Amino acid sequence: MAVLVQVQMNLVFAILLIVLFLHAYFNFDRKKTTNRLFMWILALTWFVLVTEIFSVVVNVPNLKELITLNKIVNIIGFIMSPVVPFLGYMFIKEWPTRFQKEKIKVNNIIIIPLIINGIITAISYNGGWVFRITGENIYERGPLFFIFPCICFMYVGFYLYFIYKHRSKFNYAEVIIFSSFFIVPTLATIFQLIYPVYLSTWKSIAIVSVITYIFIINDQAYRDSLTGLGNRLAYEQFSQNSYNKKMNKLFIVYIDIDDFKNINDSYGHYEGDVAIKLFANLLRKAFPLKQRKIIRLGGDEFLIFFKEQQKEVIESYIQNLDEQVKVFNKSGEKPYSFSFSYGVAGYPNDDENESIAKLLEHADQRMYKYKQKRKNAEMNIESIT
C-alpha cells in the first residue's frame, strides 16, 4: 500500500510538471536564458520523478531478473539529480540581468562535482560505491552515498549565498520565492535521509517549481517585454495599491528621451529598440533598486515612483542619471547620443488628495515645460552663433 501511494503521488506531480512544461514551451520567450533554464529545471524534475517511480516499482524482492533494470534506473537518477540544483544556481545568477544580457557564463570548476558524481555513480553498477542492489533485488545505500547529497547541498549553498550576496538586486518577493525554491527541498531531503521510506525530496521540488512558475508568469505579465521594466499594467497596479494604502509621501519622475524620433528615422526602428534598452539600463544604474519602481509607460516615456523620499534626494538621483548619460555619450558606443527631459510631482509638495493619475499629469506638464525651456535655450545659442 505504501509503495502504491508513493507511485501515485509521483505520477500526479509528473503529470502536473509535464503540463507546466508544455505551457511554458508555448508561452515563454525561449530566447531568454532564464526561461530556457527554468524549462530545463521543469523537464529534469519530471524526469527524476519518473525514474523514482521506476526505482520503486522494480525494487521488488526475489525478482532477480529486474536487478539490471534496478541498477540502471538508480544510476540514471543519481547522475541526473544534482543537475537540477546546478541549473537552479545558473538560473539565479542570470535572473537579475535577464533583460540586460543573453550569454550565460559557466565557471568550469563548478561542473567538476557533477563529473565526479557521474563517475562514482557509474562505477556503482558493479562496485556498489554510492548504492548497491543485493542479490534479492533490494536497493541499499553504499559507503560513498554521502557524496551525492553533499554535492546537491553544495549547489544549494552556492544558490543561497548568491541571493544573499546580491540581495540588493532582488526585490522582497523574489528573495522569498527563490530562497524557498531550495530551502524547502533541502529540509525535505534531510527528512528523507533520516527516513528513507518517505520519498519527499522530488515531491517538494515539484511543489516549489509550480509556485515559482506561477511567480514567473505573474512577473512577466507586469514587465515590458523590450526593457524588462514595469509596463502600463504595473503602473495601474501600483496606482491602485497606492490609493488603497493612502500614501502621504510619494513622488513621480516623468522622463522622456529628447528627439528619439531622429534615432528611429536615422538608424531604423530596430536600432530604436536597442536605444530604448540602453536608456533603460541607464535608468537602472541611476536609481537605487530599493527606493524606486521604474515603468516604461510607452515609446520613449518612463516613470519612476519613489516612496517616502525627499525631493532633494530625488534631484540627486536625476543628476546621477545625467552623469550616466554623459558617460554613455562620451563612450562613443553608438553613433547617436542621449539627452532627456523630466518633470517631478508628488506630495507633500503637491496636494495629498490628488490621485496618481493627477500627479502624473502634473509631472507631464513640468516635463514638457522643461523640454521647451531646453529647446528655447538651444535656439538662442544657435541664433547668437
Q: Which three cell numbers stand for residue 47?
A: 524526469
Other beta carbons within 10 angstroms of residue 132's beta carbon come to 19
**What domains sit in the chain, N to C, each tagged with a CATH number?**
2-221 (1.20.1070), 232-384 (3.30.70.270)
Residue 222 has what pLDDT? 92
Q: Is pLDDT of 309 > 70?
A: no
The predicted-structure confidence for 336-377, as pLDDT tens digits, reads as follows 999 999 998 887 666 555 677 788 888 888 888 888 887 776
| Mean pLDDT along residues 207-219 | 94
pLDDT of 104 higher than 90: no
Q: Above 70 in pLDDT, residue 291?
A: no
The answer to whether the beta carbons of residues 201 and 187 sit under 8 Å apart is no
Q: Is the pLDDT of residue 212 over 90?
A: yes
In a 10 Å sphere around its CB, with 0-12 CB exposed, 13-18 middle and 19+ buried, how is residue 174 labelled? middle
More reliable by pLDDT, 113 or 349: 113
Of 20-24, 112-116, 165-169, the least confident: 165-169
pTM, two decimal places? 0.86
User: Does the pLDDT at position 242 exceed 80?
Assistant: no
Cα–Cα distance for residue pair 40/32, rounded to 1 Å: 13
Among 100-104, 124-128, 206-210, which is the least confidently predicted range?
100-104
pLDDT tens digits for range 45-82: 999 999 999 998 888 888 888 899 999 999 999 999 99
Longest dimension (CA), the chain: 100
Report yes or no: 58 and 70 within 8 Å, Cβ to Cβ. yes
Q: How confident is the model at residue 378 (pLDDT cuts 50, 70, 90)?
A: low
Angle between helices 201-221 and 33-58 (to 10 degrees): 160
The angle, 0 to 180 degrees and rounded to 10, between the axes of the packed helices 147-165 and 172-194 is 160
pLDDT of 1 higher than 70? no
Write down the mean pLDDT value for the chain.
87
Per-residue pLDDT, 60: 84
- What was the pLDDT predicted at 333? 87
The confidence score (pLDDT) of residue 381 equals 55
Closest CA to 146 of 131, 158, 133: 131
Query: What pLDDT does 113 receive?
Result: 94
Please name which of 214, 195, 336 lies closest in space to residue 264, comparing C-alpha atoms: 336
Q: Which amino acid is at 33?
A: T
Q: What is the 3-state secondary structure (H, E, C) of the chain?
A: CHHHHHHHHHHHHHHHHHHHHHHHHHHCCCCCHHHHHHHHHHHHHHHHHHHHHHHHHHCCCCCHHHHHHHHHHHHHHHHHCCHHHHHHHHHHHHHHHCCCCCCCCCCHHHHHHHHHHHHHHHHHHHHCCCEEECCCCCEEECCCCCHHHHHHHHHHHHHHHHHHHCHHHCCHHHHHHHHHHHHHHHHHHHHHHHCCCCCCHHHHHHHHHHHHHHHHHHHHHCECCCCCCECHHHHHHHHHHHHHHCCCCEEEEEEEECCHHHHHHHHCHHHHHHHHHHHHHHHHHHCCHHHEEEEEEECCEEEEEEECCCHHHHHHHHHHHHHHHHHHHHHCCCCCCCCEEEEEEEECCCCCCCCHHHHHHHHHHHHHHHHHHHHHHHHHHHHHC
Mean pLDDT on 296-309: 85
Identify which has the larger pLDDT, 346 or 113.
113
Residues 150-187: tens digit of each pLDDT: 999 999 999 999 999 998 888 888 999 999 999 999 99
What is the model's pLDDT at position 328? 92
pLDDT of residue 213: 95
Query: Is the model's pLDDT at 201 over the cut of 90?
Result: yes
Q: Is 164:178 a contact under the CB 8 Å cutoff? A: no
- Cβ atoms of residues 44 and 85 within 8 Å: no
Q: Which amino acid is at 84?
A: V
Determine the pLDDT at residue 288: 74
State the average pLDDT over residues 274-303. Answer: 87
CA 213 to chain centre: 10
Contacts 24+ apart (CB under 8 A), 20-28: 20/209, 20/210, 20/213, 21/46, 24/213, 27/217
Binned at pLDDT 50, 70 and 90, residue 197 comes out as confident
C-alpha cell at 245: 494604502
Give pLDDT, residue 385.
53
